[in-house]
Structure 1
């Protein structure tokens, strides 16, 4: 028997089920107390985010660390207020006076350290004010950026945010609403009643408040990018609803067999709850595998998403059983239609066709998956910027205005950091002049500021404006040429977000094979522990790789090639953010394993009872087909709804997850897995310790 059906996990979950049925009110009260506490803390202290990329061990990070050590306030946030006039020039006396008054108002805003003089573009009608703040990017709140932009308002001028002031929080409220609405509709169809359909949404709401709130509070302790909360919301909604769906389906099936309410709940938690723990564990283990990449943003996204999954598993195995205990048979109240049992669906007929012609379905589905994955062979990694956002957004308007007036490189400046040995005697040190001349002569440099010397004379910095956009690969080539400068007595490094993110792309490419191996091995071992079948574990890993490859193919075709980009709110092709494929790999490998665990659990139960592999595959698919399809449809709709957001990275995450889950629940779980398991026969369940002639006790009956 599998570990899910027996063993320590089954015993632990049995005790968990009994506890929740005996003390439902304390369990519910504990969850409510936790949720209210987290929500209150978030309201009181906020959810700071930090969008700055860090990359320990990189040249760019070294340069940033040197700047922060030698220049006071170098680590603080800096933004721009972009000014645009449709009429008079900005240097017109009346207009200039209005800008000066705006600058005075900005200086009075809390956390504003200084405001630079107006910098005018070539047309004289576009300019900007540098706004230096006394807080780092992590401490910069939305309220401060709003106050700065409100203070900058000048009659007759259009004001737009730039730099750190563009870091508005991603609003995903409409996506969440769409996802929840579709989920409710699917749940009503799946369960045939409003009460049963509402329960997964209730538990998912608890998961979001507790899980996402905890991520927000963690922003006070460490850097948390805004994409972490958005990704957590996507995952929380998806797995929170899905796990509840699996449990409620099992519980209602046991009630239909005449089981007592408490016994049905206990057995549900022991069996389906164990499967959920293993399924959630595969997601968390896969996300933990990101830690070997040595990339902080990936590690952060991994543990934050993993935290939400842990909360979802805990909610499904404790809170939901407590609610079911109170509802009892009323879980079927408020019916809207007669629900059909899974065996009456078309999945049984499909399974029958697959096991009769396994070679045909295996080859056909395999070729289809390879075709979907083919574009991934041309995938290249890059970095997005504000120029990739919708034209209607303020960030895009500011980006375009700056590029038109000052050149595309203004939106992604580079900083050359020069460590001087021995220390410079003053601004007239000849090495500074040599450095300025060398920087200005580098191909790809549009202009460079004079070197700025640190008070201790040990470090100088040069702000460089390249002649290409931040997302243009040529900008990274320019950064490489700057880093290779050879000036006597000077050690040069290049930093800035553009430079660091460029190095991040290179590290992702280097570490991707290691992450793949670690994630596949860890997830495969967990499946091996669950089912004690090496062949099944290896097959599960291979199937999941195919679903990930299909997602990569979709990413490449839509974002890199621009196929259908207009349909998801993009103007055309955009670079695939460097860390997205690696993050998607871990997430998709874990989420795909969810469906594999639920399908294999059912197949293994039938195998243990009958010893007939073909029948076990057919009955397992027939039994789980409807619930897996419903769960996948909910998850696909939740993920796809986030494609409607403005942030290109969120669009990539949403599309990649939606495509992979859709392919996984249909082509892979519905066709390829049963076909391959049919072809493998009894080899599926072989273990080194199992004798071929052994007969399980259940079969003797």
Structure 2
């Protein structure tokens, strides 16, 4: 692989204009197509084979208009000045209803002036619109048009809000200032590290091209697969981080070779042959970890995994083609536009090597202190509260948050997440007055936590009955999931009770995650350890590295628990508490973490942690191969990689922290978890824990049984190959500041 990568890098360096033009054209074309043919998004949390999915399938069978997916739109009408039943207000509402009945695809409009359609205070009413023949993928546009038809009510001084304005397409996350903030922070770190503006701009440009290309592909794929609303932002977050980091690793190696007088094209060839191999390997581990999410049995999670993987593939491809092309075009101008007093880096390696030597002299004490600190960071994870997020955690002032609050005030918190209870009957019935139907309704009403059950509706075949059920709890309340399970446990002779709806779907998702998590973790750890074994031919190092990557996850989950579950700063990261919350509640606002987030976070972090592990282990092994002194090799390996790993980690942390500003709660949890984990990984784990364990293990680090050595293929990952001092160099130049 190294030979092939070297040839590829050399070719790209010699044909830089062609490669650069092809990448720019491809990125522009893909992004242009994505913008021109923007695809819909879908956050369907259903899981094939679950009870919620069965209820969803039965709901389509003969229950009349509006019961298919996206077939119902609700408008909340609120009068702050008095009851809706006042004559002028009621007339305005009726005019709005008359207009709604003339809208395309509308087959039924239920007035709020009906039983169950108006709140007890008479100030909040619910207009229910049932539709057929419309495009479910354009429900956001349809909802806006229906809301516009209710302008007569607004003209009379009433507020009209779409109750289901939180449709996935409507909530799609748009690009915002976080990307700009992340890029600017990364640029500052690169300028400080390299000391030249030109060198600092190369990783930024390569990452932007890779992100644009990846987003273009993802956007177009949205036409053939259900694409979660967070897909684009997840791809951008990870794509920016790894894209800048991978280019940073290559650029650092190239500048060191130039400083030794190696010709430009030859330097690029060696860089891609060595560090390029490490980039391919590191990217491969991230992709493997994300691909394992397909084993979770949750389509939404699997899609987020492979979509994020596309951004990683794009980052790897730009790193081994576009970056070499730019390096070839720039030549020694890569060191142009120097910033005074920056990028000298002469003592940085000595400082990190000094830290390595300090750790080598007291490995057991360092190990104990590191474990204690990491244990303290991970301890809060025991209190991590998983659950589902509802619009009550949306941005204050948003239409969806306003609708949620009006629904909760007028009809109870459970009205924001009604359960769809469908019972399959043992025999055909003629009407909802049949004794078996009434018995089912009584059993559902008797379940603890059920606040209201709508009138039963029998389907066209007479073999199933639908009961829309409202619980006493908000959709995000864990007790709502308990009501779902209790209803499903109803036992009547010949009757099969199924529960659907958002709450039921997320309950099934949580159960499936708990069931499949050990499998996903086991596969990721096993495959990653196997890749490390192939790369280093050292079983002990492979197993130890996999365990070390798991350690940083404990700190990430601990941070999530502190910020969200315990509420120690959820207000500071932008989570909006209830409107009537006190100051302390604003700062300490407990927020559940979506049940699938920890598994997705595990896959992403495990792959990203492997990047730094590969570069550190490669440097230590090469130093050990030169002189055989284990403690000295650890110090030298840490000295040669410490600055580049720290710079890469700072960039990752800056990018992830910037994305905490996004309004979406899942993006916030990822930003917090990733930033903390990367910071801990690059400091405590790579700076202290890994060196200490390697010193303690001594010669066992690189031990390999002979039988295993014969079985393993000859595959190596060279992130920092030794300088070839004895190779003739055609172009000798004065050494320049290598920076990182």
> Shift of residue 642 of structure 1?
1.6
Equivalent in 666, 671, 674 of residue 691 of structure 2: 674
> Shift of residue 427 of structure 1?
4.0
> Shift of residue 140 of structure 1?
3.0
1:83-162 mapped onto 2 (5 Å cutoff):
83-106=77-100, 115-118=109-112, 119-132=117-130, 134=132, 139-140=137-138, 142-153=140-151, 154-155=154-155, 156-162=157-163
Does structure 1 residue 231 correspond to structure 2 residue 268? Answer: no
Alpha-carbon displacement from aligned partner over 1:303-344 (angstroms, at most 9, x marks no partner)? 111111111101111111111111111111221234123653
Report if the CA contact (8 A) 1:75-1:136 is conserved. no
> Shift of residue 226 of structure 1?
0.8
Alpha-carbon displacement from aligned partner over 1:459-478 (angstroms, at most 9, x marks no partner)? 22110011111111221121
Query: Counterparts of 1:84 and 1:402 in 2: how far apart (Å)?
Result: 10
**Counterpart in the other structure of 1:665:** 682
Report if the CA contact (8 A) 1:88-1:95 is conserved. no
**Counterpart in the other structure of 1:4:** none
**Counterpart in the other structure of 2:409:** 404
> Shift of residue 379 of structure 1?
2.6
Report if the CA contact (8 A) 2:383-2:565 is conserved. no
> Shift of residue 68 of structure 1?
2.5
Q: Cα–Cα, structure 1 residues 560 and 615, in superposed 2: closer, same or farther, change >3 Å?
A: same
**Counterpart in the other structure of 1:450:** 455
> Shift of residue 691 of structure 1?
12
**Counterpart in the other structure of 1:465:** 470
Query: Counterparts of 1:108 and 1:621 in 2: how far apart (Å)?
Result: 72
Query: Counterparts of 1:605 and 1:146 in 2: how far apart (Å)?
Result: 63
Query: Counterparts of 1:391 and 1:234 in 2: how far apart (Å)?
Result: 24
> Shift of residue 530 of structure 1?
1.5
Q: Normalising by structure 1, what TM-score?
A: 0.93
SS in 1 for 2:604: helix
Q: Which runs of 5+ in 2 are unaligned?
A: 578-588, 710-715, 727-740
**Counterpart in the other structure of 2:584:** none
**Counterpart in the other structure of 2:30:** 38
Alpha-carbon displacement from aligned partner over 1:128-168 (angstroms, at most 9, x marks no partner)? 22344558997136544444444444121223332254542
> Shift of residue 608 of structure 1?
2.5
SS in 2 for 1:80: strand
Report if the CA contact (8 A) 1:606-1:616 is conserved. yes
**Counterpart in the other structure of 1:28:** 20
**Counterpart in the other structure of 2:368:** 363
Does structure 1 residue 310 correspond to structure 2 residue 313? Answer: yes
> Shift of residue 40 of structure 1?
2.3
Q: Cα–Cα, structure 1 residues 331 and 144, in superposed 2: closer, same or farther, change >3 Å?
A: farther
Q: Cα–Cα, structure 1 residues 527 and 104, in superposed 2: closer, same or farther, change >3 Å?
A: farther
Query: Counterparts of 2:352 and 2:128 in 1: how far apart (Å)?
Result: 63
Alpha-carbon displacement from aligned partner over 1:30-52 (angstroms, at most 9, x marks no partner)? 22232122112212221311012
Report if the CA contact (8 A) 1:275-1:601 is conserved. no
Query: Counterparts of 1:111 and 1:311 in 2: how far apart (Å)?
Result: 42
Query: Counterparts of 2:346 and 2:136 in 1: how far apart (Å)?
Result: 50
1:234-313 mapped onto 2 (5 Å cutoff):
234-313=237-316
Report if the CA contact (8 A) 1:247-1:272 is conserved. yes
Query: Counterparts of 2:310 and 2:625 in 1: how far apart (Å)?
Result: 34
**Counterpart in the other structure of 1:335:** 338
Query: Counterparts of 1:103 and 1:686 in 2: how far apart (Å)?
Result: 78
Query: Counterparts of 2:211 and 2:106 in 1: how far apart (Å)?
Result: 34
1:510-549 mapped onto 2 (5 Å cutoff):
510-549=515-554
> Shift of residue 116 of structure 1?
3.3
SS in 1 for 2:422: strand
Query: Counterparts of 1:111 and 1:247 in 2: how far apart (Å)?
Result: 57
**Counterpart in the other structure of 1:496:** 501
Q: Cα–Cα, structure 1 residues 117 and 219, in superposed 2: closer, same or farther, change >3 Å?
A: farther
Report if the CA contact (8 A) 1:49-1:137 is conserved. no
Q: Cα–Cα, structure 1 residues 94 and 239, in superposed 2: closer, same or farther, change >3 Å?
A: same
**Counterpart in the other structure of 1:629:** 646
Query: Counterparts of 2:677 and 2:130 in 1: how far apart (Å)?
Result: 43
Query: Counterparts of 1:110 and 1:639 in 2: how far apart (Å)?
Result: 44
Query: Counterparts of 1:528 and 1:670 in 2: how far apart (Å)?
Result: 22
Moved more, 526-535 or 651-660: 526-535
Query: Counterparts of 1:513 and 1:654 in 2: how far apart (Å)?
Result: 24
Does structure 1 residue 394 correspond to structure 2 residue 399? Answer: yes
Query: Counterparts of 1:357 and 1:369 in 2: how far apart (Å)?
Result: 18
Report if the CA contact (8 A) 1:609-1:698 is conserved. no
Equivalent in 607, 615, 624 of residue 607 of structure 1: 624
Alpha-carbon displacement from aligned partner over 1:51-103 (angstroms, at most 9, x marks no partner)? 12111221111111222344466333134322221113222232233233434
Q: Cα–Cα, structure 1 residues 134 and 25, in superposed 2: closer, same or farther, change >3 Å?
A: farther
Report if the CA contact (8 A) 2:139-2:167 is conserved. no
Query: Counterparts of 1:111 and 1:523 in 2: how far apart (Å)?
Result: 53
Moved more, 96-105 or 595-604: 96-105
Query: Counterparts of 2:503 and 2:620 in 1: how far apart (Å)?
Result: 50
Q: Normalising by structure 2, what TM-score?
A: 0.89
Q: Cα–Cα, structure 1 residues 212 and 496, in superposed 2: closer, same or farther, change >3 Å?
A: same
Q: Cα–Cα, structure 1 residues 141 and 231, in superposed 2: closer, same or farther, change >3 Å?
A: farther
Report if the CA contact (8 A) 1:21-1:321 is conserved. yes
Query: Counterparts of 1:111 and 1:615 in 2: how far apart (Å)?
Result: 76
Q: Cα–Cα, structure 1 residues 136 and 524, in superposed 2: closer, same or farther, change >3 Å?
A: farther
Does structure 1 residue 57 correspond to structure 2 residue 78? Answer: no
Report if the CA contact (8 A) 1:608-1:698 is conserved. no
Moved more, 338-347 or 531-540: 338-347
> Shift of residue 659 of structure 1?
0.6
Q: Cα–Cα, structure 1 residues 79 and 353, in superposed 2: closer, same or farther, change >3 Å?
A: farther
Query: Counterparts of 2:19 and 2:99 in 1: how far apart (Å)?
Result: 53
Alpha-carbon displacement from aligned partner over 1:588-613 (angstroms, at most 9, x marks no partner)? 11011111112112222222233222
Equivalent in 636, 657, 664 of residue 640 of structure 1: 657
Query: Counterparts of 1:12 and 1:287 in 2: how far apart (Å)?
Result: 26
**Counterpart in the other structure of 1:578:** 595
Alpha-carbon displacement from aligned partner over 1:454-507 (angstroms, at most 9, x marks no partner)? 222222211001111111122112112211223344221111110110121122
Equivalent in 40, 64, 74 of residue 48 of structure 1: 40
**Counterpart in the other structure of 2:5:** 13
Report if the CA contact (8 A) 2:6-2:273 is conserved. yes
Does structure 1 residue 561 correspond to structure 2 residue 578? Answer: no
Does structure 1 residue 218 correspond to structure 2 residue 216? Answer: no
Query: Counterparts of 1:115 and 1:216 in 2: how far apart (Å)?
Result: 35
Report if the CA contact (8 A) 2:12-2:324 is conserved. yes
